[in-house]
Amino acid sequence: MTRLASVLGFVSCALLSTGVSAQSSEIFVCVGENGEKQFTNTGNVKTCKRMDVQPILTLPASRVPQARSAVQPSAEPRASVSPASFPRVDGDTQRTRDSDRRRILEDELRAEEERLAKLKSEFNNGEPERRGDERNFVLYKERTQRLQEDIARTENNVRALAREMSLLKIQ
């Protein structure tokens, strides 16, 4: 008798737990007094409408077997990473390209630093001068916020360009 009771208890718990998970997956759309929509898992019949949402099914990606190569990998590191048929550039051409790249990065860095200095002077430590079209305080605050965002973006650009310059080989 106790075994039958334990089996019945287990089955009833299993059935109740599946009922709870199905109940918790219902989604209702409720329209508030202001006309804004709210999504909840419980809903009032008068102001909410139940949505029919299909359960999300996720499948793992299928694995593609790797092709086995006929050549066994050697323990020795290869001297050249690129294949032999890959076109080579002579040293003078590469040095010219590197110097051009350095010059371009220096020009961009100088331009970004000038832009940053201009933005900071216009920002005036959080109190930029008001323009004639900014009689409304909200417009003034929006421009101040835009200036802050522009300063942050330009500072990030300066850091990125400086990091890129540091990665170049010293000539």
Q: How do residues 17-56 score in pLDDT, each as one tens digit?
A: 554 444 446 788 888 778 788 878 877 767 788 877 776 7
- Does any domain span residue 8? no
- Measured CA to CA in angstroms, residue 143 lies from 121, 126, 138 at distances of 14, 11, 9
pLDDT at 21: 46
Retrieve residue 50's tokens: 């139940």
131 lies in some domain = yes
Residue 132: give the domain boundaries: 91-167
> What pTM was computed for the model?
0.47
pLDDT recorded at residue 12: 54
- CB of 141 closer than 8 Å to CB of 127: no
Judge whether 16 lies within some domain: no
Q: What is the pLDDT of residues 69-97, one digit of tens each?
A: 555 555 555 555 677 788 888 989 988 99
Contact present, 125 and 148 (Cβ < 8 Å): no
Q: What does the pLDDT read at residue 75?
A: 56
**Separation of alpha carbons 82 and 66, rounded Å:** 22
